[in-house]
Chains A and B, each alone.
Chain A
Amino acid sequence: MREALFFEILKDDKVRCDLCPHHCVLKNGQVGICGVRKNIDGALYSLNYGQISAISMDPIEKKPLFHFYPGSEILSVGSWGCNMSCPFCQNWEISHSIPRVRDFSPEQLASLAKDHNSFGIAYTYSEPVVWFEYVLDCARAAMKDGLTNVLVTNGFIEEMPFKLLTQYFSAMNIDVKSFNPEYYRKVLGGQRDVVMKNVETAQKAGIHVEITTLIVPEDNDSEDETRGIAQWLGSIDRSIPLHLSRYFPNYKYDRPPTDLDVLEKLWHIAKEYLDYVYIGNVAGMHEDTICPKCGKTVIERNGYNVNIVGLDEEGSCTNCGFPIAIRK
């Protein structure tokens, strides 16, 4: 446990958390919507500081990040808690309940990453923005050790703390879960425009950004919605990779998995506006990176098996010289 950043002390021992746009006003003893920030005697504390529920060396492609150190493994850690309430949550065991945890100091975590020859640390699995203080301290410790920081997030965080994170991160995968603001608010418990603004902020800060949209049948699988997301992303930069991921029944949803024909159709729509569109959670379906200029495959993927077949040292297509948006 650690005293939190970004909160305001109100009257009668109440506090208002300013970390995310919920701005929970908490009486003494109350916990915020995220489940991990608590008012204790008139101050706000992060309950999950230093607590790690899952830790593993993962392929970077699992985040998913397809254009960042392709084929590398990264030490990946998660805690518990989330500030959104997606009824199809694919990680609900750690996002919406309290799992078993182990404690690591930021320095221990950075040292662990180096011991495993990881090029960095990915904060993932649960929602890292509500693990804010620990993520920040670890990111600083990692930078001091020459490591890279990666954030896998719902992007639902206030502008000021998000800008602070952008100082220390090299790559982010941000969920844009829908293009429908009402759905975002009522069903997911978030705000679309906040997420969109944070995507733009991250991109402007020079962070390598990739976007994931979980395509949930009946909820966000319309052509218009994918078109909206792709069109908006393309207006920022058409080289931002978009991952359209297949939904599987989880948590409160028992609808069948997303139809593959629907995913195929949405992939074609997104490709009108973006250079790199991938299908997630389906082996062998639009996983490869194709040069947008000459159409040659530059990275072959089969699950987490990655084979770089057409990139030169500068990250350009060996066939036509087109600069593929790859960071390494």
Chain B
Amino acid sequence: MRFPDSDKKVNFSSLKAVIISLSILLIVAIVIFAALWKKPPQYYVQYGVALGTNVTISYATEKGNAQQVVEAMFKELDNINAIFNPWLPNSELYNLNHSNGQWTQVSPELLDVLKYSIKIAQETNGNFDPTVGRLVDLWGFNSTDSAKWHLPSPSEIAAVLPHVGYQNVQFDGNKVRLLNGVWVDLGGIAKGYAVELLVEMAKANDPNSTGYVDIGGDIGIIGPKYGNQPWVIGVRNPRGTPNDALTYVNLYKGYIATSGDYERYITVGGRRYYHILNPKTGYSDNYFQSVTSISDNGMLSDAFGTAAMVAGPNDINQWSEIFGIGYFAIYENGQTQSNTLWNEYAK
């Protein structure tokens, strides 16, 4: 014989048991999911101004010290400025430029960058030349104040040209001598150096960390976005607004830099004169609006664009092969040219 009540009781107990079992299963599933699910990294982003330009650093590390590392990176930029800014009285480079041709002991940092810049000068037949300091000063492009940018007279330029030429930089161990009154301006390479140094700092803190360093458009990748996705980087339309991109590349690693005629320029008599000066003529050239390059070396990416802006289209393909660089060049008439390496980065 069965009692209806007892039946009910049995059913209720079963239901309770099922609910308890399901709850336990759910809790176990949540615990397993929480253990297996890896949160995407949180990027610590800091903006600032250093080396006379805008700086953005985006950094994520599982070590939990992203902010401290980024702050140390910004401090390092101050150190770099104190070495490489040729227009900052008592910076190391300022003192070298004012050493009256005497052998001067320099820091390992300055020595490395100087030597590398002379190597690039040799390999680009002097189209990239770090000794354009006096020319840059003559045009006023060493100032951030656009009121000081002006077209010098031909005689002024002729007077300065003898004091330009990378052959005037001599090395002896850790000493450097500048002959013929040349002034070194590492503006075409120092940002690339700084970007690479900061990327190395980030990786030294955590080899698996990710993010990027952007110093005035010179960008170095610390690691892929979220660990496996590319950073999508646009190439600015030089005649458009800063956010108007002509094309994009997808970068997981490496260094990208743009040299262009649109940051520091003046227009005189309908002609544009900008801050990248041909060390042989003393004037800027009008082959390209900009040249953007990608390589595995921050200084190289930076210097390549400068050399190409000066040399024009004849050498760009040969140099890109010699240096292993992907490039995207925008001609003065707006036409564009790129090589296979660049086109593949764009995929």
Considering only residues 191-210 of chain B, those with a C-beta below 8 Å from chain A are 203, 207
What separation, in Å, do the CA atoms of A161 and B253 have in the docked complex?
15
Q: Are B252 and A143 in contact (CB under 8 A)?
A: yes
Known contacts being A140-B347, A206-B203, is A167 close to B324, with CB within 8 Å?
Answer: no
Chain A: minimal CB distance from B257 (Å): 16
- Chain B residues with CB under 8 Å of A164's CB are 326, 341, 344-345
Q: Does A204 contact B (CB under 8 A)?
A: yes
Q: Does B254 contact A (CB under 8 A)?
A: yes
Q: Are B295 and A163 in contact (CB under 8 A)?
A: yes
Q: Are A163 and B252 in contact (CB under 8 A)?
A: no
Which A residue sits closest to B228, measured CB to CB? A146
Q: Are B228 and A143 in contact (CB under 8 A)?
A: yes
- Chain A residues with CB under 8 Å of B341's CB are 160-161, 163-164
Q: Does A201 contact B (CB under 8 A)?
A: yes
Q: Are A167 and B252 in contact (CB under 8 A)?
A: yes
Q: Are B296 and A204 in contact (CB under 8 A)?
A: yes
Which B residue sits closest to A327, measured CB to CB? B207
Known contacts being A6-B340, A143-B252, A160-B324, is A166 close to B296, with CB within 8 Å?
Answer: yes
Q: Does A184 contact B (CB under 8 A)?
A: no
Considering only residues 118-167 of chain A, those with a C-beta below 8 Å from chain B are 136, 140, 143-144, 146-147, 159-164, 166-167
Considering only residues 235-258 of chain B, those with a C-beta below 8 Å from chain A are 251-254
Chain A: minimal CB distance from B119 (Å): 16
Instruction: Return the CB mask of B311-347 against A: 1 if under 8 Å, else 0.
Output: 0000000001100101000000000000011001101
Known contacts being A6-B340, A160-B321, A206-B203, is A167 close to B295, with CB within 8 Å?
Answer: no
Q: Does A236 contact B (CB under 8 A)?
A: no
What separation, in Å, do the CA atoms of A144 and B253 have in the docked complex?
15
Closest 7 CB pairs of A and B: A159-B324, A163-B324, A146-B228, A160-B324, A167-B252, A160-B341, A205-B296
- Chain A residues with CB under 8 Å of B254's CB are 167, 205
How many B residues face the partner with a CB closer than 8 A? 23
What separation, in Å, do the CA atoms of A161 and B341 have in the docked complex?
7
- Chain A residues with CB under 8 Å of B229's CB are 143-144
Chain B: minimal CB distance from A264 (Å): 33
- Chain A residues with CB under 8 Å of B320's CB are 160
- Chain B residues with CB under 8 Å of A167's CB are 251-254, 345
Q: Does A294 contact B (CB under 8 A)?
A: no
Chain A: minimal CB distance from B170 (Å): 28
9 contacts between A and B (CB under 8 A): A6-B340, A146-B227, A160-B340, A163-B295, A164-B344, A167-B251, A168-B252, A205-B296, A327-B207
What separation, in Å, do the CA atoms of A206 and B253 have in the docked complex?
9
- Chain B residues with CB under 8 Å of A143's CB are 224, 228-230, 252
- Chain A residues with CB under 8 Å of B321's CB are 160
Partner of A201, one of B224, B252, B296: B296
Q: Does A5 contact B (CB under 8 A)?
A: yes
